Structure 1
Amino acid sequence: MSTGKRLFRYAALYKKTLIAALLMLTVAVGAELTGPFIAKKMIDDHILGIEKTWYETEKGEQTAAYKDSYYKREDYFKPGEEKGEEVHILQVQRDYYFIPGELQFDGERRAEGNTVTISKGEQSESYQGTKLSSKELFAFYEPEIGGLLTLIFIYFGLLVFASFFHYGQRYFLQVTSNRIIQKMRQDVFAHIQRLPVVYFDNLPAGKVVARITNDTEAIRELFVAVLSTFFTSAIYITGIFVALFLLDVKLALICMVILPILAVWSVVYRKYASDYNHKIRSLVSDINGMINESIQGMTIIQAFRRQEETKAEFEEMNDSHFHYQNKLLSLNSLLSHNMVGFMRNCAFVALIWYFGGASIGVGSMVSIGVLYAFVDYLNRLFQPITGIVNQFAQLETARVSAERVFTLLDEKGIDVSEKKEPRYKGDVTFEHVSFGYKEGEYVLKNIDFQAKQGETVALVGHTGSGKSSIMNLLFRFYDCKEGKIMIDGKDIMSMPRQTVREHMGIVLQDPFLFTGTIAANVSLNNPAISREQVEKALTDVGADKLLKHLPLGFDEPVIEKGSTLSSGQRQLISFARALAFDPAILILDEATASIDTETEAVIQEALEVLKKGRTTFIIAHRLSTIKNADQILVLDRGEIAERGSHDELMKQKGKYYQMYELQQGKQNSLAG
């Protein structure tokens, strides 16, 4: 499905308010576009209407007094009303003349004294008249004042009416746009929760953040500014062309040449702007990713004095962003105001050519009011065109941003299952499991072991031997390529991922804490875990001893990643979290590696309580912490090299024995 159709589907979710906004916009534009027609009527019927034929009559409504007689315009006579002597008011340059009698024709005028001569081709007629004073002329204009004031008030009323509808359409369009983006951000963020862990292995967090924030904000501008401008402009242009056709069909057809030019223009612009915008949005994501990484690693950057190198790397990306922004700016400058100005000038040249010569002037078929209205509409026509052109850049930015957002939404996610399973016993079996992160490169080979309920299984081995990979498979962060993993005799591949993890808990070497309170980090705001359970879990792992000095105790705020807490405090909170959720299977991934000896003693005591009735997997480098494990698996290059209890492995004097003796030797030398 195209990007445009998908954006339309989002807009269709709020079609009622969107349609209401567009209807209000149509009414407002229609009210505004009556202006030139009202101006035309004011000019032709009231201001220039003085040159229509007048007849002598009795004093009454809409009559003008002149030299003890009263005169009324022919269009103000009622059917059957008696008419007197015919007279005319003619304008010659800046003067007006009262001409009694009938005119043979109208044409070019000139005056000598009180004699007015009218010429048309070879014909010429002279008429004896009287030059009107300002007061006398005003008498003939006086009947028009009421009509002029009425039209002025009508136009003012229409403008006020239009302003209310403009406000309404703007409000509804803004509300609709915000709702669309709110829905889109919810969908994107919810979809991120469904994506497998492997998706995030190769995508920096900053790039994901850019799609949820920057790209969706660009799409919001599409609905707020671009959609509003395009619909407003389309309605304006349609209304203006309808008005132009009502005024003069031939010139309206000439002006319609603008529409195909505009269409070709947009195609050319999109061809070049799309490439630039793709590059710019990609660079924005890269910059976000680098900033995010730099902030997280600021301690290392400063410790190793890499500030200048980091700054140089940022400047390189920033310069690239500046380069492509300038290219886009040049394109916008070339195809925006310059092009609109050129088209406007061409239109006015056509107007002058069409109305030139004999087409305009006294006796012409085109009135001054029509000319004024045409010029007004032509001016108004280029306002929406300018609006459309100015929004091309925003349109392309939004379109590219939408493509990036929809690409993320198109990533295959994992449906969240609401299915609940009773707490399983915790028997875990790996049957000939092989796995690799890359095709053909196995990091686990033929892993085969069984962990019974309540047992503690320790995984040891050098870095990269596959210890964490086994846990990743058990949690179904990844799925094995060969073999199968079973819990209580049931293949985990036949179970939804959420169900597999429902009764499992994990404690990492570097625990992750969320912004909130200590208590909230233990319960993760799960309503099923009460405050009493939270406090009991913290007390059971000995956290109360290390956290009691905090001003707010267990309600002490935790900022990002718990940076204000010590590593021991963070680890204790992570242990309490695992205990509060009461898992059937517990994984401790180097959980005590970064803990000091005193804190480790506290945790070891808590672990004995925590492990009761649970199947526990411990990944450990410090072998002294796993001496009491029921089963120790020694991994080497993805294979199980040795297995057994601590005493059994020590008797074998193999790899485990060498590792243990090496660690003990180091400890003894350090103690000495």
Structure 2
Amino acid sequence: MSKITGDAFNVGLLRRVYDYVKPYRATFRLSIVLTILLAAITPVRPFLIGYTLNEFILKNNFTGLVEMTILMVVLLLVQTLIQYSQTLATNTLGQSAIKDLRINVFNHITKLRLKYFDQTPIGQLITRTVSDLETIADIFSEGLIAMVGDLLQVVVIIACMLWIDWELTIVVLLPIPFLIVATRIFQKSIKVAFQEIRTEVSNLNTYLQEHISGISIIQYFAREEQEYKKFVKINKRYRDANIRSNWYYSIFFPVVELISALSLGLLIWYGSKMILNKPLDVEPGTITTFIMFINMLFRPIRELADKFNTLQMGMVGAERVFKVLDTQETTEDKGTYTPEKLQGAISFENVWFSYNQDEEVSDESYVLKDISFEVKAGQTVALVGATGAGKSSTINILNRFYEIQRGTIKVDGVAIKDYELSYLRSNIATVLQDVFLFSDTIFNNITLNNPAIQLDEVVDAAKKVGAHEFIERLPGGYHYNVMERGATLSAGQAQLISFIRALVYQPSILVLDEATSSVDTETEMLIQKAIDKLMQGRTSIVIAHRLSTIQKADQIIVLDKGEIKEKGTHQALLKLDGYYKKLYDLQFSSVGIAKN
């Protein structure tokens, strides 16, 4: 991807933006037609005013004056109607195109690998999908089409002035080179300021998102004052960037007014000389027309610089947004295998995996090294080991959140890459230690808005898990609206909801990643009963630090630094007197629990 420069007429980017306009061609064409009409009709009124002054007012023709007044009122109403329609059409076009683009961006982001989110701040993605997209919408409402209209208006006005009096036109246009120079300087300066603003907006969004999400940590460690001071600095940079842009405007607009006044002064000076000549070289109505033309001429020229920068910022936003869309950090989904029923047999064959997804991976960077094991359909396998041993990585690659570098992972004897990705993941239900609940109803958090899952199925699953009673006690029951991340529920209640979620999707493979480590003993007993029901008839992978929860597993795999050190049943591993025995002794000997 090229460096973000914000070139206003980057043809490639404009073409990509226009692709989102194609479904709205009729609105786009209407906008262009109305813009041309507006540019053509705008200079008519000053011309009619000058003509009225010369032909009716100075000649005391009251009837003609009334007729021209009516004509100008009608013209003004028509112009107002065209202006309204043009503004509505361009804004509708921009927002419609951006609606589709935003949907496309969100859809793309949801399909990106977890690696991308490991490296990209969430606040930055929020900026891309909200404020950066709005700058693209401005391309239509305040940028390209508006610039075309202003340029057409300038051309039409100058053409009318030359047609009326070419000599007076040349005098009036003498200050224009100064305006062009001033506009060019302003355009370059404001471009840099706008880019600074976009950068600081992204920084501000990132900081806010991270610190509001982590507010509990800030308060636990009494870091409010320090984080406040950091925010003040970031906010100050954002303020300074905006002040710089306003400073450029505060200089440029008065300069334009000064040049406009100079042009008007030249008109009065030269026009007065021509009026005083006998016979008249120019009529008073012509001078009046030119005065109005000067105001109409300098307004679009002044705004062209601003709109040019709006277009530039739209291009900056477009380049950033399309950079996200061009990100190839998506999981390859070329598999087509979707059997009617997944049995759930799992096999890892000489699997090597590193979070470094580059082609060249050193042996030291592998978090899983030559992993091989088999789990028959309906069996339970437990993964144990110290933190960083590779337990969570094992389930991440089973779901294809990350791709392995070497080896093969199969489900029911078929490589997971051959399965349709959505089918594979929908058949693997994962219950994590850190349960995420959306700001929505309990029912929607369980079904994830899947219309195929009915309320009676959810209630039935909740009863099996043992969560029905506490849900019924909540205001609204299953339609109780939980706050973001389930802030209004206890950790145990949130965990139970995640179990219901796993159960209603009727998975063939169940993954429990530290599912009971964050709950109290009473809730753990409740969950343990639910786990036994969940595991019936399903292949289960259990990750647990509490070895008491996995003693019934058909197979226990002991991982250490990404390697399998031991495999076997609980009793068999105890007899080996190896890694598992040491882990078991560390957990149970201090509390006097029998090792059997």
TM-score, normalised relative to structure 2? 0.90
- How many residues matched? 575
Distance 1:415 1:233, change over 3 A: farther
Q: What residue number does 1:372 align with?
A: 288
Which stretch of structure 1 is more off in the superposition, 429-438 or 225-234?
225-234
Q: Give the 3-state SS of the residue equivalent to 1:557 in structure 2.
A: coil
Which structure 1 residue ranges, 5 or more long, are not aligned?
51-140
Once the two structures are superposed, residues 130-158 of structure 1 have per-residue CA deviations (whole angstroms, 9 ceiling, x without a partner) of: xxxxxxxxxxx3xx111111111111111
> Which amino acid counterpart does residue 346 of structure 2 have in structure 1?
V
Q: Give the 3-state SS of the residue equivalent to 1:14 in structure 2.
A: helix
Q: Is the contact made by 1:31 and 1:161 (CA closer than 8 Å) also made in structure 2? A: no
Distance 1:500 1:270, change over 3 A: farther
Distance 1:447 1:169, change over 3 A: same
In structure 2, which of residues 111, 118, 122 is the aligned counterpart of residue 194 of structure 1? 111
Once the two structures are superposed, residues 409-459 of structure 1 have per-residue CA deviations (whole angstroms, 9 ceiling, x without a partner) of: 221245778954422211111111111112421111111111110110100
Partners in 2 of 1:263 and 1:506 — Cα distance?
63
Which structure 2 residue ranges, 5 or more long, are not aligned?
1-10
Q: What residue number does 1:328 align with?
A: 245
Q: Give the 3-state SS of the residue equivalent to 1:632 in structure 2.
A: strand
Q: What residue number does 1:488 align with?
A: 412
Which stretch of structure 1 is more off in the superposition, 647-656 or 412-421?
412-421
Q: How does 1:75-114 map to 2 (within 5 A)?
A: none
In structure 2, which of residues 126, 144, 167 is the aligned counterpart of residue 209 of structure 1? 126
Q: What residue number does 1:473 align with?
A: 397
Which stretch of structure 1 is more off in the superposition, 373-382 or 579-588?
373-382
Q: Is the contact made by 2:382 and 2:556 (CA closer than 8 Å) also made in structure 1? A: yes
Q: Is the contact made by 2:348 and 2:409 (CA closer than 8 Å) also made in structure 1? A: yes
Partners in 1 of 2:266 and 2:73 — Cα distance?
32
Q: Is the contact made by 2:351 and 2:369 (CA closer than 8 Å) also made in structure 1? A: yes
Once the two structures are superposed, residues 285-321 of structure 1 have per-residue CA deviations (whole angstroms, 9 ceiling, x without a partner) of: 2211211222222222112110111111111212222
Q: What residue number does 1:411 align with?
A: 327
Q: How does 1:35-50 map to 2 (within 5 A)?
A: 35-48=45-58, 50=59
Which stretch of structure 1 is more off in the superposition, 399-408 or 220-229?
220-229
> Which amino acid counterpart does residue 25 of structure 2 have in structure 1?
K
Q: How does 1:357-396 map to 2 (within 5 A)?
A: 357=273, 361-396=277-312
Distance 1:421 1:247, change over 3 A: farther
Partners in 1 of 2:114 and 2:23 — Cα distance?
31
Q: What residue number does 1:55 align with?
A: none
Residue 608 (str. 1) matches residue 525 (str. 2): no
Once the two structures are superposed, residues 92-114 of structure 1 have per-residue CA deviations (whole angstroms, 9 ceiling, x without a partner) of: xxxxxxxxxxxxxxxxxxxxxxx
Q: Which has the higher contact order (CA 8 A, sep 6+)?
A: 2
Q: Give the 3-state SS of the residue equivalent to 2:222 in structure 1.
A: coil
Q: Give the 3-state SS of the residue equivalent to 2:473 in structure 1.
A: coil
Q: Give the 3-state SS of the residue equivalent to 2:387 in structure 1.
A: coil
Partners in 1 of 2:134 and 2:488 — Cα distance?
33
Which stretch of structure 1 is more off in the superposition, 409-418 or 538-547?
409-418
Q: Give the 3-state SS of the residue equivalent to 1:159 in structure 2.
A: helix
In structure 1, which of residues 278, 281, 284 is the aligned counterpart of residue 198 of structure 2? 281
Partners in 2 of 1:594 and 1:351 — Cα distance?
82
Partners in 2 of 1:410 and 1:252 — Cα distance?
51
Q: What residue number does 1:31 align with?
A: 41
Shift of 1:198: 1.0
Q: What residue number does 2:21 align with?
A: 11
Once the two structures are superposed, residues 648-672 of structure 1 have per-residue CA deviations (whole angstroms, 9 ceiling, x without a partner) of: 1000111111111111123349xxx
Q: Give the 3-state SS of the residue equivalent to 1:2 in structure 2.
A: helix
Q: Is the contact made by 2:553 and 2:569 (CA closer than 8 Å) also made in structure 1? A: yes
State the identity as a percent: 36
Q: What residue number does 1:637 align with?
A: 561
> Which amino acid counterpart does residue 364 of structure 1 have in structure 2?
L
Residue 429 (str. 1) matches residue 347 (str. 2): yes
Q: Give the 3-state SS of the residue equivalent to 1:434 in structure 2.
A: strand
Q: What residue number does 1:290 align with?
A: 207
Q: Is the contact made by 1:274 and 1:400 (CA closer than 8 Å) also made in structure 2? A: no
Partners in 1 of 2:447 and 2:273 — Cα distance?
87
Q: Is the contact made by 2:132 and 2:317 (CA closer than 8 Å) also made in structure 1? A: yes
Partners in 1 of 2:418 and 2:178 — Cα distance?
60
Two-structure CA RMSD over aligned residues (Å): 2.5
In structure 2, which of residues 269, 294, 318 is the aligned counterpart of residue 402 of structure 1? 318
Which stretch of structure 1 is more off in the superposition, 494-503 or 552-561?
494-503
Computing the radius of gyration from Cα coordinates, the structure with the larger value is 1
Shift of 1:353: 6.2
In structure 1, which of residues 496, 500, 504 is the aligned counterpart of residue 428 of structure 2? 504
> Which amino acid counterpart does residue 344 of structure 1 have in structure 2?
S
Partners in 2 of 1:600 and 1:546 — Cα distance?
15
Partners in 2 of 1:409 and 1:328 — Cα distance?
30
Q: Give the 3-state SS of the residue equivalent to 1:510 in structure 2.
A: coil
Q: How does 1:556-635 map to 2 (within 5 A)?
A: 556-635=480-559
> Which amino acid counterpart does residue 368 of structure 1 have in structure 2?
P
Q: Is the contact made by 1:512 and 1:561 (CA closer than 8 Å) also made in structure 2? A: yes
Q: How does 1:233-244 map to 2 (within 5 A)?
A: 233-244=150-161
Which stretch of structure 1 is more off in the superposition, 528-537 or 492-501?
492-501
> Which amino acid counterpart does residue 607 of structure 1 have in structure 2?
I
Distance 1:277 1:250, change over 3 A: same
In structure 1, which of residues 234, 240, 248 is the aligned counterpart of residue 165 of structure 2? 248
Shift of 1:487: 1.1
Which stretch of structure 1 is more off in the superposition, 571-580 or 184-193?
184-193
Partners in 2 of 1:185 and 1:619 — Cα distance?
38
Q: What residue number does 1:20 align with?
A: 30
Distance 1:378 1:617, change over 3 A: same
In structure 2, which of residues 378, 381, 387 is the aligned counterpart of residue 463 of structure 1? 387
> Which amino acid counterpart does residue 377 of structure 2 have in structure 1?
Q
Q: What residue number does 2:83 align with?
A: 166
Q: What residue number does 1:301 align with?
A: 218
> Which amino acid counterpart does residue 201 of structure 1 have in structure 2?
D
Shift of 1:189: 1.0
Shift of 1:251: 4.4
Q: What residue number does 2:259 align with?
A: 343
Once the two structures are superposed, residues 383-419 of structure 1 have per-residue CA deviations (whole angstroms, 9 ceiling, x without a partner) of: 2122223445544433322222222122124577895
Partners in 2 of 1:433 and 1:46 — Cα distance?
94
* Bigger strand fraction: 1
Q: How does 1:312-327 map to 2 (within 5 A)?
A: 312-327=229-244
Shift of 1:227: 4.5
Partners in 2 of 1:395 and 1:274 — Cα distance?
10
Q: Give the 3-state SS of the residue equivalent to 1:26 in structure 2.
A: helix
* Bigger helix fraction: 2
In structure 2, which of residues 354, 373, 376 is the aligned counterpart of residue 452 of structure 1? 376
Which stretch of structure 1 is more off in the superposition, 649-658 or 217-226?
217-226
Distance 1:256 1:3, change over 3 A: farther
> Which amino acid counterpart does residue 213 of structure 1 have in structure 2?
V
Q: Is the contact made by 2:552 and 2:570 (CA closer than 8 Å) also made in structure 1? A: yes
Shift of 1:14: 1.8
In structure 2, which of residues 72, 80, 87 is the aligned counterpart of residue 155 of structure 1? 72
Q: Is the contact made by 1:332 and 1:393 (CA closer than 8 Å) also made in structure 2? A: no
Partners in 2 of 1:515 and 1:472 — Cα distance?
25
